[in-house]
Structure 1
Amino acid sequence: MQDITSSGGEERMKSKILLSILLVALLAVIAVACAPAGPAATNEIKIVSSLPRTGSSKGQTDTVVNGIKMAVDEANGKVGNFTITYLDWDDATAAAGKWDPAQETENANKAVADKDVMVYIGTFNSGAAKLSIPILNAAGPLVMVSPANTYPGLTKPGKGEAGEPDKYYPSKVRNYTRVVPADDIQGAVGAQWAKQLKATKVYILDDQETYGKGIADVFEAEAKKQGLTVLGHEGIDAKAADYKALMTKVKGLNPDLIYFGGITQNNAGQLLKDKINVGMANDKVIFMGPDGIYEDAFIDAAGKANVEGVLVTFGGVTVDQYTGKAKDWLAAYKKKFNADPEVYAIYGYEAGKVALDAIARAGTKDRKAIRDAVFATKDFDKGVLGKWSFDANGDTTILTMSGSSIKGGKFVFSTLLGQ
């Protein structure tokens, strides 16, 4: 005889199993429906910047970052179907007080590992670029747009150390560009300016970094070409407590002008203080430097009284000389951030505009395609620096240079250089 109770229990068990299967399937459908849409994640493009955001460079780079943010905000964070995310990375450390080689290397590797990163805006210091260019070059390559690097050897053959610039590009394809003129121009016009100022004897110092020594070497070569007497050229110890002995020695040589190739963060303020402390006032012995000291941090480090009359060269024109679109941008910057920008802010903005334009022209989320689009930038006028192009080396065709003096604790335009 058939066991009716057992048969009914079996049917109920089958029903429970079927119900469980249906429930699992339903939950799977709900999970898929609630998950983020694939295209939204796929269509995110990240632009990162790697700049010294710790230490005395922060005041300058705050304004560079603001410039990049302005460019992204104007596009409403969108380029075509792509959502643009901007990330502000620090390549400095508190221990170093300036850019740190280990931190810059870490940033470059982090960018490579994140497949959403399509553009790397940086670096600020040329020595940092030497480290990150090869890392990014082997990854796509991942394109760089620098708002500040000026060392010629990063891009120009025969302008730097042996093997430069090819040794930075293992893939044999260039991936580095910059929106500022290089030091082979700036260092030379500095020496020409010294000649115009009637200097005849110059002493040259540098901070022994890529940027500082590079521009000092260019200044020296051009000074000799201009017929100036170079009394000496040496590198300083950036960590020295003072430079009184050095400046006493230099004073004994009776120079008309002391040129310092370097950055504020390598003790430029103390160097100037000790020049004056040993009796070489700026109205007697000119102190000239490049754009590496063109920042409020230099004035703060040296002291307002000591910087009066200091001369500084810069690749481009100074904020007080902006006209047209640049002047309109300046007004927009002040309105947005309720502060004045430092000189490199406008180059941060231009770098951001270049990146966004290249992404739009590439039309695809592909590192190589976006790199190609950046290098194809010609007659670019979507920024505020006028119409310009990148050459085959990745250098800007903008060659405008200016000289400024410090008066009343402010940088004031003096003259156009190299005209």
Structure 2
Amino acid sequence: MQIKTKMIPLVGAIALALAGSAFAQEQVVTIGHVGPLTGPNAHIGKDNENGAKMAIDELNAKGTMIGGKKVKFVLDGEDDASDPKLATTVAQKLVDAHVNGVIGHMNSGTTIPASKIYFDAGIAQISPSATNPKYTQQGFNTAFRVVANDGQLGGTLGRYAVDKLHAKNIAVIDDRTAYGQGVADEFSKGAKKDGANIVATQFTNDKATDFNAILTSIKAKNPDLIFFGGMDAVGGPMLRQMKQLGIKAKFMGGDGLCTTELAKLAGAGLEDDQVVCAEAGGVPDAGKKALEEFKVAYQKKFNQEVVIYAPYVYDALMTMVQAMQEAKSADPKKYLPFLAKIRHKGVTGNIAFDAKGDIKDGSLTLYTYKGGLRTLLAVTK
């Protein structure tokens, strides 16, 4: 009996030790995500965060391993409200929390100032949607993006406006953000290079709702096309007021305009084939099956359609984790060199980065709207 009495605590101690050992084998990896969860761009920011959640849930469900240890992934989601000042505050918060990497920010105007903070801390950052070229021109080895930049996007739209839409006289409006001004400038360069006349250049801001003065001035110039550098929350009401003023010009914009929500925001102001816009990414026919499967899974999980960039967020996070697996470590100092040389097959296409951190061979997808639905025109480079 004495032997049995002594064996019970001994067996218990062994069981606890084994449980503790197993527990110690599981490591927690925290990935930050930042986007606007409040304010006029919140619908896009929430879409982005949902993309991150899909990746996190999938990684945890399949018991992902890094360096021979099972990993529990945790998402630290933060709101920057598309505000550059708040973006730096949130970035520092993530640095102080010792996150293993960051996916974001959404806007160029928030991504660029935040990138300096991540660089100083040595934390990898992949933006799924920031397109301003300045982001990857700062020499930060921590900065990457999985979409084409404004040089590609704006230039392609400028050529398309002249060559395909036969626009000769063009008015340009931008919202003075890093994104809006950047894409509008690149569009103007592309359009002028192909022979268009820029008959008016106007400015608004990313919170404006009244454009009557700007549009009345532009109407007098009788443009064939109006290009808007900004987001759908401003572009939608602008289309409404164009219709009220009897402006029949085509309306063009970049990825910020090119969302599934534009039709709701524009209402009766959106006419069939009036709008041409570009998403700063694109999947050729051979890769469409994976993207469509993602969209179906997204709809099932969140009971809503993809707005625009959720698949790119998903791919950005999966790309970062692949680099961790190849490095056998979630420490940014160890996996950063692997991220720079990564080859990842994502739902949005193949992902690899150039020396600056820009995606190689970035594609663009051109859309119009028919019957209130975003309709594919072409995938191009």
TM-score (norm 2): 0.86
Match of 1:250 among 218, 221, 224: 218
- Deviation of 1:239 after TM superposition, in Å, equals 4.3
Aligned partners of 2:177 and 2:206 also within 8 Å: no
The residue number in structure 2 matching 1:22 is none
The residue number in structure 2 matching 1:339 is 304
Match of 2:57 among 53, 73, 80: 73
Structure 1 residues 335 and 278: alpha-carbon distance in aligned structure 2, compared to 1, 3 A threshold? closer
Deviations 1:312-365 (A, max 9, x none): 111223899962322333333333334322221110110121011011112124
Structure 2 distance, partners of 1:401, 1:387, is 14
The residue number in structure 2 matching 1:200 is 168
- Deviation of 1:214 after TM superposition, in Å, equals 0.4
- Deviation of 1:62 after TM superposition, in Å, equals 2.9
1:191 lines up with 2:168 in the alignment = no
Structure 2 distance, partners of 1:384, 1:179, is 12
Counterpart secondary structure, 2:100: strand
The residue number in structure 2 matching 1:91 is 79
- Deviation of 1:198 after TM superposition, in Å, equals 0.9
1:371 lines up with 2:336 in the alignment = yes
1:402 lines up with 2:365 in the alignment = yes
Structure 2 distance, partners of 1:238, 1:399, is 27
Aligned partners of 1:258 and 1:287 also within 8 Å: yes
- Deviation of 1:220 after TM superposition, in Å, equals 0.6
Structure 1 residues 268 and 305: alpha-carbon distance in aligned structure 2, compared to 1, 3 A threshold? closer
Structure 1 residues 307 and 318: alpha-carbon distance in aligned structure 2, compared to 1, 3 A threshold? farther
Deviations 1:195-247 (A, max 9, x none): 11111110111000000000100011111100011112232144445121211
Residue identity matched to 1:145: I
- Deviation of 1:78 after TM superposition, in Å, equals 3.2
Structure 1 distance, partners of 2:83, 2:327, is 33
Off by >6 Å, runs of 4+ in structure 1: 35-39, 318-322
Structure 1 residues 398 and 64: alpha-carbon distance in aligned structure 2, compared to 1, 3 A threshold? farther
1:48 lines up with 2:25 in the alignment = no
Structure 2 distance, partners of 1:152, 1:386, is 21
Structure 1 residues 269 and 386: alpha-carbon distance in aligned structure 2, compared to 1, 3 A threshold? closer
Deviations 1:237-259 (A, max 9, x none): 44445121211111111110000
Segment drifting more, 247-256 vs 237-246: 237-246
Report the RMSD for the aligned CA atoms in angstroms: 2.7
Residue identity matched to 1:121: I
Aligned partners of 1:183 and 1:214 also within 8 Å: yes
Match of 1:290 among 234, 254, 258: 254
Counterpart secondary structure, 2:349: coil
The residue number in structure 1 matching 2:323 is 358
Match of 2:104 among 105, 118, 122: 122
Counterpart secondary structure, 1:405: strand
1:104 lines up with 2:69 in the alignment = no
Structure 1 residues 113 and 412: alpha-carbon distance in aligned structure 2, compared to 1, 3 A threshold? same
The residue number in structure 2 matching 1:272 is 239
Structure 2 distance, partners of 1:215, 1:103, is 23
Aligned partners of 1:294 and 1:314 also within 8 Å: yes
Residue identity matched to 1:290: G
Structure 1 residues 240 and 144: alpha-carbon distance in aligned structure 2, compared to 1, 3 A threshold? closer
- Deviation of 1:88 after TM superposition, in Å, equals 4.3
Structure 1 residues 52 and 241: alpha-carbon distance in aligned structure 2, compared to 1, 3 A threshold? closer
Deviations 1:110-162 (A, max 9, x none): 111123x11100010001011111111111x1000111111111114xxxxxx
Aligned partners of 1:112 and 1:136 also within 8 Å: yes
Residue identity matched to 2:55: A
Match of 1:209 among 171, 177, 184: 177
Residue identity matched to 1:101: P
Task: List alignment gaps of at least 5 residues for structure 1.
Answer: 1-28, 93-97, 157-164
Q: Would you say how many aligned residue pairs link Structure 1 and Structure 2? A: 361
1:316 lines up with 2:297 in the alignment = no
- Deviation of 1:42 after TM superposition, in Å, equals 8.5
- Deviation of 1:73 after TM superposition, in Å, equals 2.3
1:327 lines up with 2:289 in the alignment = no
Aligned partners of 1:206 and 1:236 also within 8 Å: yes
Counterpart secondary structure, 1:231: strand
Counterpart secondary structure, 1:399: coil
Structure 1 distance, partners of 2:322, 2:226, is 43
Residue identity matched to 1:411: R
Structure 2 distance, partners of 1:347, 1:226, is 31
- Deviation of 1:177 after TM superposition, in Å, equals 0.4
Residue identity matched to 1:47: I
Structure 1 distance, partners of 2:279, 2:348, is 15
Residue identity matched to 1:315: A
Residue identity matched to 2:108: S
The residue number in structure 2 matching 1:12 is none
Task: List alignment gaps of at least 5 residues for structure 2.
Answer: 1-12
- Deviation of 1:410 after TM superposition, in Å, equals 1.4
Counterpart secondary structure, 2:350: coil
- Deviation of 1:106 after TM superposition, in Å, equals 1.9
Structure 2 distance, partners of 1:72, 1:278, is 47
Residue identity matched to 1:64: N
- Deviation of 1:303 after TM superposition, in Å, equals 1.7
Aligned partners of 2:126 and 2:146 also within 8 Å: yes
